[in-house]
């Protein structure tokens, strides 16, 4: 019987974990991470690794002038660095008789439902064949609007897609603190309730030295996943045996407590805010109705006051109040053209059925 707390995990390792003080890949740290992943695999755990570090790996291969266009520099370093990064992982996995597969994605890959399901089937095939998927953003193509916020966002999308039991975000601090960890008296928060959203009150907006992300982003993603039943751990990736400790249920880092598990479709909807094709404004009565605890309620036209965007059936839409407060996300059951003719009317088909509705 497995000693692990989970059967399927997504592990996200950040640039500040992989990179040493010189900004280049630290193969000793990477080797220790792979040893922990190999141990988890021996316990029957399915592991998906989301790894930053392509640009850092590229820096180790050739110098690039600071005068080079930033986008061109990133594309160049990522192009050559991704090859080295995967070679390092491949070599580190060989003594454990494990192999990996490279998957490079862009934000566009998650927007289309059919493409999303095809990608999910690919992951399933790899896992069934005992292969460790190693995922990274395709930095060669992902520029400007195509970019994820960072690999934390990508890891959250993958965890949601695969119905992982947990997302483990390994960073260069011990977890979430009640104030900046640099301040005297700062205390680690061991558990954060899934209903808490006031992260900006105590989490620093400071970003890492080598990555694009920060703790605010991590908390936002962790909260969203906790709302759909996926636990999130944030811990220090350079702490010895940190992954093993988490899988043994030891009290390390910060864990985001979960609500009940949601359906696969609701998990997809929950992580589709960036792909919404329209805005649906609702009145106070509709908001109250939708947010009733322990009651399944669909979004009916009678509670809708106005619409924005030319969305079609099957598109993701945002549901907001007249004050632009986000209430939820949903999959439209019909297009904006029909929806406009139903505004405020009774006895009309729901614009968003409960089965396709995620409330924040």
Domains and CATH numbers, the chain: 8-263 (3.40.1160.10), 272-359 (2.30.130.10)
Angle at CA 60, nearest 5°, toward 54 and 63?
105
Predicted pLDDT at 146:
57
Average pLDDT estimate for 289-317: 89
Predicted pLDDT at 209:
45
Q: How confident is the model at residue 160 (pLDDT cuts 50, 70, 90)?
A: confident
Q: What are phi and psi of 229, to 5 degrees?
A: 95, 15
Q: Are 85 and 113 in contact (CB under 8 A)?
A: no
Q: Are 35 and 27 in contact (CB under 8 A)?
A: no
Predicted pLDDT at 142:
65
Predicted pLDDT at 1:
39
Average pLDDT estimate for 262-274: 70
Average pLDDT estimate for 37-60: 92
Top pLDDT among 147 and 323 is at 323
200 in a labelled binding site: no
User: 83-87, 139-143, 196-200 — which is least confidently predicted?
Assistant: 196-200
Which residues are CB-contacts of 178 (< 8 A; sequence separation ≥ 6)?
Answer: 186, 187, 189, 202
Element (H, E) at 220: helix 215-227
Which value, to the nearest 10 degrees, does the dihedral of the CA atoms of residues 306, 277, 155, 234 take?
-20
Query: What are the structure tokens assigned to 155, written together?
Result: 């890891």
User: 136-145, 150-159, 321-330 — which is least confidently predicted?
Assistant: 136-145
Size of the chain in residues = 360
Task: Give 56-78 pLDDT, tens digit per residue.
Answer: 888 888 888 888 888 888 888 88
Task: Give 214-231 pLDDT, tens digit per residue.
Answer: 777 788 888 888 888 889
Predicted pLDDT at 212:
45
Predicted pLDDT at 211:
44
Predicted pLDDT at 261:
59
12 in a labelled binding site: yes
Predicted pLDDT at 3:
66
151 in a labelled binding site: yes
């Amino acid at each position: 019987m497995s000693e692990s707390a989970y059967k399927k995990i997504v592990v996200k390792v950040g640039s500040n974990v992989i990179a040493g003080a010189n900004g280049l890949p630290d193969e000793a740290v990477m080797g220790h991470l792979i040893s922990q992943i190999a141990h988890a695999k021996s316990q029957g755990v399915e592991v998906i690794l989301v790894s930053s570090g392509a640009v850092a790996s590229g820096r180790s291969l050739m110098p690039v002038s600071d005068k080079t266009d930033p986008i061109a520099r990133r594309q160049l370093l990522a192009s050559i660095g991704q090859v080295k990064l995967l070679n390092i992982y491949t070599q580190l996995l060989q003594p454990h008789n494990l192999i990996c597969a490279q998957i490079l994605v862009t934000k566009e890959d998650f927007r289309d439902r059919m493409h999303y399901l095809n990608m999910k089937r690919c992951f399933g095939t790899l896992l069934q064949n005992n292969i460790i998927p190693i995922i990274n953003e395709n930095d060669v193509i992902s520029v400007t609007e195509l970019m994820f916020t960072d690999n934390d966002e990508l890891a959250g999308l993958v965890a949601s897609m695969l119905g992982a039991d947990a997302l483990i975000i390994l960073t260069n601090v011990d977890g979430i603190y009640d104030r900046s960890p640099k301040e005297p008296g700062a205390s680690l928060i061991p558990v954060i309730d899934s209903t808490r959203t006031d992260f900006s009150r105590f989490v620093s907006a400071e970003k890492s030295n080598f990555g694009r992300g920060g703790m605010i982003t991590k908390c936002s993603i962790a909260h969203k996943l906790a709302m759909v039943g996926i636990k999130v751990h944030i811990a220090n990736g350079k702490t010895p045996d940190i992954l093993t400790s988490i899988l043994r249920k030891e009290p390390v880092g910060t864990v985001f407590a979960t609500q009940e598990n949601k359906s696969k479709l609701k998990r997809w909807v929950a992580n589709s805010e960036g792909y919404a094709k329209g805005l649906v404004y609702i009145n106070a009565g509709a908001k109250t109705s939708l947010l009733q605890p322990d009651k399944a309620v669909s979004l009916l036209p009678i509670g809708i006051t106005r619409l924005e965007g030319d969305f079609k059936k099957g598109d993701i839409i945002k549901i907001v109040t007249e004050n632009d407060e986000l209430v939820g996300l949903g999959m439209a059951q019909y297009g904006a053209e029909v929806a406009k003719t139903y505004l405020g009317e009774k006895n009309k088909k729901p614009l968003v059925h409960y089965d396709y509705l995620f409330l924040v």
